[in-house]
């Protein structure tokens, strides 16, 4: 795998980023409806971003984007005063809850997550050093961390 953006097993790591390929289901942009907070979303990205704006009208506008990728881009471009003041305090727990909903509602995806075994899950994003590994490869990889946490929960009898 010479392409650093490629997906798949790399030693004891699973790198994912795009919605295609064997591990595309790990991406929040993966098109799978989920019910969350009494609403149906087309992807976990939409469910996550819906909680970011202060104003419900802005949240509705975000999820009306033509696809989850554009929803994410629009959400990243929100001005500070459009974002709820406690967003940095709640965003990790919201993502945890959204991921739990996604994998609990779709047993096939849960089985695929469990099948990654003990591999380190890495969101190979070059642009996001919080949810992914970032340009330098030393980001927090919080999406991978949360997915591994959820995988451990799902593996318990």
Q: Are 146 and 96 in contact (CB under 8 A)?
A: yes
Mean local confidence (pLDDT), 90-100? 98
Decide if pLDDT at 6 tops 50: no
> What global pTM score does this model have?
0.90
Decide if pLDDT at 105 tops 80: yes
pLDDT grade, residue 157 (50/70/90)?
Answer: confident
What local confidence, expressed as pLDDT, does residue 3 receive? Answer: 38
Share of the chain above pLDDT 90, in %: 91
> Which tens digit of pLDDT belongs to each residue from 33-91?
999 999 999 999 999 999 999 999 999 999 999 999 999 999 999 999 999 999 999 99
What local confidence, expressed as pLDDT, does residue 11 receive? Answer: 53
Mean local confidence (pLDDT), 130-150? 97
CATH 1.10.357.40: which residues of the chain? 33-105
Longest pairwise C-alpha distance within the chain: 45
Class of domain 33-105: mainly alpha
What local confidence, expressed as pLDDT, does residue 5 receive? Answer: 38
pLDDT grade, residue 156 (50/70/90)?
Answer: confident
What DSSP assignment string belongs to the chain? ---TT--EEETTEEEE-SSSSTTGGGSTTS---EEETTEEESSHHHHHHHTSBSSHHHHHHHHTSSSHHHHHHHHHT--GGGB-TTHHHHHHHHHHHHHHHHHHH-HHHHHHHHTTTTPEEEE--SS-TTTS-TTTS-S--HHHHHHHHHHHHHH--
Mean residue pLDDT of the chain comes to: 93
């Amino acid at each position: 795998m010479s392409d650093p953006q490629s997906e798949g097993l790399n030693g004891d790591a699973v790198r994912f980023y795009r919605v295609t390929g064997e591990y595309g289901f790990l991406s929040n942009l993966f098109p799978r409806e989920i019910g969350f907070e009494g609403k149906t979303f087309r992807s976990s990205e939409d469910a996550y971003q819906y909680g970011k704006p202060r104003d419900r009208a802005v949240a509705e506008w975000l999820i009306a984007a033509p696809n989850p990728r554009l929803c994410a881009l629009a959400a990243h471009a929100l001005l500070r005063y459009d974002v709820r003041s406690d967003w940095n305090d709640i965003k990790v727990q919201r993502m945890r809850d959204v991921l739990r909903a996604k994998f609990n509602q779709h047993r096939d995806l849960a089985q695929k997550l469990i099948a990654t075994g003990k591999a380190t899950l890495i969101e190979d994003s070059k642009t996001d050093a919080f949810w992914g590994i970032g340009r330098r490869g030393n980001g927090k990889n919080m999406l991978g961390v949360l997915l591994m946490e959820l995988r451990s929960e799902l593996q318990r009898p």
